[in-house]
């Protein structure tokens, strides 16, 4: 019999709650940081193209991918969380 099987379920649940909150906070922080990076890429693609650092086929594809990534991350950040 394992350690957790001998303990009441409510006690196990109470002990896991701080981990869940910590995980959610880290998850939100990671999403927020990634969202900021994706937005920064969106802002930098135009100047990089004008300076000749990005050629036309790659420029538009990168712009579209950065915009789509930002939209998905924004949706994840705004998604309702379970209480």
What is the DSSP code (8-state) at residue 58? H
User: What is the Cβ-side half-sphere exposure of residue 3, based on CA atoms within 13 angstroms?
Assistant: 2
Question: pLDDT tens, position by position, for the chain (83 residues)?
Answer: 444 445 444 444 454 455 566 788 888 889 999 999 999 999 999 999 999 998 888 889 999 999 999 999 999 999 877 65
Q: Is the pTM of this model over 0.75?
A: no
- 20-59: b (≥16 Cβ within 10 Å) or e: eeeeeeeeeeebeebbeebbebbeebeeebeeeebeeeeb
């Amino acid at each position: 019999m394992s350690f957790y099987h001998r303990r009441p379920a409510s006690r196990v649940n109470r002990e896991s709650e701080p981990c869940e909150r910590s995980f959610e906070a880290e998850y939100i922080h990671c999403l927020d940081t990634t969202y900021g990076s994706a937005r920064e890429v969106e802002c930098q693609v135009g100047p990089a193209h004008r300076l000749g650092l990005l050629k036309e086929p790659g420029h538009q594809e990168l712009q579209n991918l950065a915009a789509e990534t930002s939209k998905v991350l924004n949706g994840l950040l705004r998604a309702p969380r379970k209480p």
